Amino acid sequence: MELGLEGKVVLVTGGSKGIGLACALAFAAEGARIGICSRSRDNIDKASAEIRAAFGVVGDLVDAVAAERAIETVEDRLGPIDILVNSAGAAKRTPPDELNPAVWREAFDAKFFSYINVIDPMVKRMAKRGSGVIVSIIGVGGKVASSTHLAGGSANAALMLATAGLGATYAGKGVRVVGVSPGLTETDRVAEGLAADARLAGISVDEARRRSVDRLPLGRMASAEEIADAVLFLASAKAGYITGVTLSMDGGQNPVVL
């Protein structure tokens, strides 16, 4: 399928590893011009070696000033951003007995504000230009509560509501805002989550992984590349009538009507 992404300027936050890196590689393969953002210069350098002609920006997106500076830096180098993919930041998994207000706040900084600090200035720039697409990777923990991911899951739920509201608000200005909600995916973040689940349950990581995969009707975790395929479609003109929604990609684990 021809997605019409050639020449598009794409900023992928968290684009140096995991799902973000898979998205950046997939957009590059379509001929898009890629900017990636990460807190780590080493990670950017490693990713840039894989991604054709990618431009890397170092920035901690929990800082709203740094987030807007990252946007400005990419646009100064590559031109106006057509597509923003948010994949930066993840809240630590915390057993419920260890939760406190500071942990909840840290989770929202790590996940919610690391996205909103980029989305807010970017959606306004796109609206002034009359076009643009924002796709956010939002974990399924925002739809299904987990005892070890209550704070981070709440941040994800807030992002889903923001996606719905912004999608409706900016639809008339030529900007689409959508989300993708992966379930278990073969990434380092999921591996860390399984380790936290294993500690809480008093079992091995291998056993925690087996139990998790056994709950998936498709019988396996997703690959980061499969998530990226959905992101590319949603970012393309082929999805031009889709906005304000978050697509679940959980392998059929939660068969509910949304």
Residue 22 lies in a domain: yes
Residue 188 lies in a domain: no
Residue 42 lies in a domain: yes
Residue 168 lies in a domain: yes
In angstroms and rounded to an integer, the radius of gyration of the C-alpha atoms of the chain is 18
Count the Cβ atoms, other than its own, within 10 Å of residue 25: 20
Residue 211 lies in a domain: no
Q: What CATH number did the domain enclosing 70 receive?
A: 3.40.50.720
Count the Cβ atoms, other than its own, within 10 Å of residue 13: 30
Residue 226 lies in a domain: yes
Number of separate domains in the chain? 1
pLDDT digits (tens, 9 = 90+) for 209-255: 899 888 889 999 999 999 999 999 999 999 999 999 999 999 888 88
d(CA 16, CA 27) in angstroms, rounded, equals: 14
Residue 32 lies in a domain: yes
pLDDT digits (tens, 9 = 90+) for 132-159: 999 999 988 888 888 888 999 999 999 9
pLDDT at residue 257 above 80?
no
Instruction: Please name which of 235, 241, 258 lies closest in space to residue 87, comparing C-alpha atoms.
Output: 235
Please list, in sequence order, all residues whose beta carbon lies within 8 angstroms of the beta carbon of residue 132, skipping any fewer than 6 positions away. Answer: 81, 82, 83, 84, 122, 123, 125, 126, 174, 175, 176
Residue pair 169/134 in contact by the 8 Å Cβ criterion = no
Specify the pLDDT at position 100: 95
Range of the domain at 20: 9-183+222-249
